[in-house]
Amino acid sequence: MEVTFSKLKQKEVISLTDGKHLGRVCDITFGYPDNCVLGFTVTGCKSMFKFGRQEQFLPVKSVVKIGEDAVLVNTQPPKGNPPPPPKPPCPPPQDRRSLDEYE
C-alpha cells in the first residue's frame, strides 16, 4: 500500500495497547543516505504538566497498520521476548546523481 504524506498527515494515530488517541502525524523522519523511513512525529497529545501540545516520535517498527482513517501503533515493547533481528538496510537508489553534477 502506498500512502502520500498529505494523506498520512490527515490520519489519527491510535495506540493499540491502551486505545488512546495520540494525535496526528505531523512529520516523517528519513535516514540518510539509506533513504529509509525511520519514524513519525505525532503531535496533538496533551501533556499533564504543559499547557501546549506535546510531540512524540514513534519509530516505524511500532506501526502495526495504516488504515483508511487511522494509523495503529504499538507503544509498549514486547515483554520477555528477545528483540527481533535487525532488518537489512534499504537498497541504494538506482537513479542517484553524483555530487559532481551539481557543481
Q: What is the mean pLDDT of each run of 10 residues along the chain (103 residues)?
A: 81 88 87 84 66 77 88 76 67 66 65
Distance of CA 86 to the CA centre of its chain: 17
Q: Compute CA distances 59 → 33, 49, 67, 96, whole Å.
A: 18, 24, 17, 26
Q: Answer whether 0.75 is exceeded by the pTM.
A: no
Domains of the chain and any CATH numbers = 5-76 (2.30.30.240)
Comparing CA positions, the residue from 13, 20, 29 lying closest to residue 65 is: 13
Phi, psi for 36 (deg, rounded to 5): -110, 145
pLDDT value at residue 53: 63
Q: Match 495504516 to its residue by C-alpha cell.
A: 66
